[in-house]
Amino acid sequence: MKFDLSGKTAVITGGGSGIGKAISKTLAEQGAQVHILELNLKMAEVTTEEIKANGGNGYAHTCNVAIQADVKRVVDQILENTSIDILINNAGIAHIGNVENTAEADMDKIYAVNIKGVYNCIHAVIPQMKKKGGVILNMTSIASSVGINDRFAYSMSKGAALTMMYSVAKDYLDFGIRCNSISPARIHTPFVDGFIKDNYPGKEKEMFAKLSSTQPIGRMGTPNEVADLALYLCSDEASFITGTEFPIDGGFIKLNGN
């Protein structure tokens, strides 16, 4: 069976909702043992229960990826019972603002989760992956490649996740570790619905249509579409791919303005 992950163990940060949840469930469906690291343990447990109800293996762990000791604690617990074959750095937070109205506290928070969190997780799993290889996948964003209005801190953080991918892919070629990244455009998740509801009350349908139309293909992507790409990149079928950024953007990067 293509894209078979039987016998593989995957660690997925932020796997309790949105894209992370879709990735967790998709990898479990293909046979992976999935460990979800979430700040909100209840959300992780909901996902793992859905995985188990579908016949898969899922485990929930409470973890703040911004704290290195917390990440090491959870990774060490997982390694007591299994090796880690796949790491997906999906946990992240958003921020709206330009350089003038981005407060220092906001900048520090974005850095702690979106940059240091990625570093903490890679730092924790690399020593074990060096023994037999593995796959690391960073979730970036189109904001790491093109300018987006009022996304100063967020773009900075996703650009860092992108360049960390390049560095890790280069440094660990000889250890059989592949590292790639996925950069989605706007994906229809509960976060998007909540953002529209909170910021545009009474204009939800209008704003949803407007945000959808920013992708040249005319709609938002779905979490499952991102998850299917992640599955491919984590599978042996992608064994010739490393050090590469994969946009999944409905044509946003190349076709906007053309």
Please check the confidence at residue 253 and state whether its pLDDT lies above 80: yes
Which residues, 6 or more positions from 125, have their beta carbon under 8 angstroms from its beta carbon?
A: 11, 75, 84, 87, 134, 136
Per CATH, domain 9-186+223-255 is 3.40.50.720: yes
Torsion, Cα 103 106 108 111, to 10 degrees, reads -130
Give the model's pLDDT for residue 257.
61
Angle ∠(128,144,141) on CA atoms, nearest 5: 75
Distance between CA atoms of residues 44 and 13, nearest Å: 10
Residue 232 sits at φ, ψ, to 5 deg, of -60, -50
Q: Which of 154, 166, 172, 200 is catalytic?
A: 154
Six-digit token string for 234: 């984590």
Tell me if 211 sits within 8 A of 219, measured CB to CB: no
Tell me if 235 sits within 8 A of 31, measured CB to CB: no
pTM metric for this prediction: 0.96
Tell me if 75 sits within 8 A of 124, measured CB to CB: yes
- Could you tell me the CA-to-CA distances from 251 to 63, 100, 222 in Å, in that order? 35, 30, 15
**Residue 195: which pLDDT band, with cuts at 50, 70 and 90?**
confident
Give the model's pLDDT for residue 45.
98
Tell me what the pLDDT averaged over the chain comes to.
Answer: 96
Please check the confidence at residue 190 and state whether its pLDDT lies above 90: no
Please check the confidence at residue 258 and state whether its pLDDT lies above 60: no
Where in the chain are the domains?
9-186+223-255
Give SS3 for 245: strand
Mean pLDDT, range 126-134, rounded to an integer: 98
Three-state SS letters, 30-99:
CCCEEEEEECCHHHHHHHHHHHHHCCCEEEEEECCCCCHHHHHHHHHHHHCCCCCCEEEECCCCCCCECC
Tell me if 175 sits within 8 A of 133, measured CB to CB: yes
Burial class (CB in 10 A: 0-12, 13-18, 19+), 3: middle
Tell me if 227 sits within 8 A of 163, measured CB to CB: no
Give the model's pLDDT for residue 75.
98
Residue 154 falls in the annotated catalytic set = yes
DSSP letters for 175-195: GTEEEEEEEE--B--HHHHHH
